[in-house]
Amino acid sequence: MKFDRTCPHCGTPNDASFAVDGTDDPPINVGDISVCAECAEVAIMGEDGKTRMLTRSEAFSIPPQVVVEIGIAQEAIRQCKGDQ
């Protein structure tokens, strides 16, 4: 399946990825969470192969440690962009 990682929030085509454990270019799977490198918003890979916004229940089901890691990634992106 070909995956479309275009951000559903800002429309940026995100063409690279890395795992929170530091692994370069990990495989993409349905249900994977992503943080946009442009707007720092969170999305999830849908069953149709496109990133989409999370539902309320999906957002609340993210494990606490992953929420922390998402926050760290968002802060780093915002600092790089000067959007503190």
**Where on the phi/psi map is residue 9: left (φ > 0), alpha (ψ -120 to 50), or beta?**
alpha
The CA angle 73-5-32, to the nearest 5 degrees, is 60
- Specify whether the CB–CB gap between 30 and 47 falls below 8 A: yes
> Which two three-digit tokens encode residue 18?
């890395």
pTM of the model: 0.83
pLDDT tens readout for residues 21-54: 666 666 788 999 999 999 999 999 999 999 999 9
pLDDT at 2: 85
DSSP assignment of 44-64: EE-TTSBEEPPPHHHHHTS-H
Least Cα distance to 30 among 65, 63, 1 occurs for 1
